[in-house]
Structure formats: structure tokens, C-alpha cells
Amino acid sequence: MSVIIPMYNEERHIAACLRAMLDQDYPPGKLEIVVVDGASTDRSAAVVKEQFIAAGAPLRLLHNPGRKTPHSLNMGLEAARGEVIVIMSAHAAAQPGFLQMNLENLRRPGVDCSGGTLLNVGGTPKQVSIGVAMSHPFAMAVPHRYRRKPGFVKTAVYGAYRRKVFETVGRFEEDWTVPDDADLNHRLTQAGYRIYYDPRIQTRYFPRQTFRSLARQMLTYGFLRARMLRRHYGAVSWFHFIPPLFLLVLAGLAAGAVFSPPARYLLGLLLLVYAASAAGFALDARNRQGQGRIVWIAMAFASIQLSWGYGFIKGLLTLKHDAQA
């Protein structure tokens, strides 16, 4: 089994990521880890060398001067020797049993990719609150952040893939015109392969620590999802259109409010309804997970939805007409 980990400026998280993988109950001689550093400007590469390679860990460190994640992933695929390929983030840490349970699922008939759920963790109250928001459906959270029922799905996070999948559907899109994992999983299911979701398989994920960095992340996600729409029409769900439509309505009412009292009234009413909804769902999210601050959870909801929506609109407006059916 090969684990591919693209890395860029992950000095704070890469050690925890690698220790969690090396601590898995899996035969050491059958596991290889390929870390691909995208020209990090911090001590990420030094941590890998000094704490792991020097200690004899089954690990290789490759260097991607181009920095982009899809290039790093494809470099890792080129170097990997395992018949099962796991795509892991340097910003996450696999829980015990991660490798074994993925392998068990891949032994099931008709399973070509296995994935699990994310556990958002944080070191500060604000990071915890952001993680709580990201795990709630109101934040456009994808099912692997909250689903508790196993079964076949359309996409996976930190999936374990049979090598044959890449030989059939190809590798990651290197021009980064689409979200790399979503594009791969869409091509996988379109080719007749199947993805199995198992909530027992858990990975700790470290969300962004500030609302500014969260907004920047979500703007990128929205932008790439818009490009996904133009490339694969069936890969976008109806709920992806809610944030950009909401943002367009807000912008339209804000423009009309300059001249029209009714528009001012509607704008105020819409903002009040949204604030009340965000507060109510923030309370629900806090009660479900028993942590986080309601105000910060609500602010995280707004950061996620508005930034994602703006990114989606921007992606549509800047796209060339290169769609494929």
C-alpha cells in the first residue's frame, strides 16, 4: 500500500500526519509513504528528513518546484509502487484502523475506492468553532463530514483507491481548472467504478484558524466548483447554486436600496432572516458537538457560504467555453 501526501508549508501538522500513518496497525514492510513537497518556504521538508527519514521510516520525500497540488499528486502516483493508493493531506491525521478498514472495504465485491469521515479538531476556540461549522449541513458540508450511514457514494475524502482506477480514468488534472479530488471521483464513477463510504474510518482534520483564511479557502473551492460545472455538468448538485444565488439577490437588493424604499425593506428582512437562521443552526451545531461558540460558528457559516458563492460566480465569469458533456 502506498500513501501519497502532498505538502506545502505544513511545518505545524506534517509530523502529526506522518506519526498517525506510521502508527497504523499495518505491516511496516508493506507500507510506503510518499511525501511530495511543493517548494515549502518553512521547515516542512526539514521536519520530514530529520524526524522520519533519518529514523528509517518507510518514507520518501520528493520535491515539486511547481508547488501546485495536482502536480504533487501525480508525482506521487508516478513514484508509488503499491496496488492500493491512499491520498492523504498533510493537514490531517488518520485515526487508528484507517488503513486496515480501508483495505477490508476494498476486498468487498464492487468496491474500487474506500473513504471515511472527517473529524474537525482545533487548538483554539475560534478554530474549534470553525470546525464545528464545517461539520454542519447548513455550511454546505459534504456528507463525509456528518454522515453516519455506510454505503456507496459519489465522492470520498482521503480515499484508498485500487491502482487500476488511475490506469483507467487517468491522473489528476494538472492545469487546476477543477477541484482535483472531485474531478477524479466524478471520472471514476462515470467509468463504472464505485466508491464506498465507511463512517468507522476517521481522519482528524485541522481547519483554518481565522475567518480570513477560511474565506480564502472557500473562495477557491467555489471557484473550482464552477469550473467543474463547465467541465462535467452532472458533477454539481442543486445546493451548490444556493450561495451564489443568495449573493446575487443580496447584491441586487443592495443596489436597489439606493433608490427604492421597498428594496431597503426587503434587504433588511433578508439579512435578518439569514442572521436568525445562522444563529439557530449555530446553536444546533454547538449542541450536536458540545463545543464551539455560537457567534463564531455563525460567523463561520457566513464566511463559508458568502466566500464560496463569490468564488463560484467568479469562476463562471472567468471560464472559457471548454465544457465537456
Percent helix, strand, coil in the chain (nearest 5)? 55, 15, 30
Q: Is the pLDDT of residue 27 over 60?
A: yes
The whole-model pTM stands at 0.84
Can you give the pLDDT at residue 306? 96
pLDDT band at 29 (very low <50, low <70, confident <90, very high): confident
pLDDT at 11: 95
What local confidence, expressed as pLDDT, does residue 173 receive? 80
Say which residue, 47 or 119, is predicted with more confidence: 47
**Mind listing the domains of the chain with CATH numbers?**
2-209 (3.90.550.10), 229-318 (no CATH)
Checking if the pLDDT of 144 tops 90, the result is: no
Residue 235's pLDDT is 63
Alpha-carbon distance 180 to 295, whole Å? 33
CA 69 vs CA 5, 26, 64, 166, 266: distances in Å: 10, 27, 9, 17, 43
Which is more confidently placed, 129 or 228?
129
Q: Please give the backbone phi and psi of residue 31, each rounded to the nearest 5 degrees, phi first.
A: -120, 130
**Among 58, 54, 56, residue whose Cα is nearest residue 35:** 58
Name residue, grid cell 505545524. 12
Residues 155-209 have pLDDT tens digits of: 888 999 999 999 999 988 876 555 567 788 888 998 999 999 999 999 999 899 9
Q: What's the mean pLDDT in 262-286?
A: 96
pLDDT at position 23 is: 94
Tracing cell 456528518 back to the chain, one arrives at 146
The whole-angstrom distance between residue 172's C-alpha and the CA centroid of its chain comes to 15
What is the enclosing helix (H) or strand (E) of 63? strand 59-63
| Res 319: pLDDT | 52
Task: Provide the pLDDT for residue 69.
Answer: 87
pLDDT for residue 322 = 41
pLDDT tens-digit readout, 222-272: 988 888 777 766 666 777 889 999 999 999 999 999 999 999 999 999 999
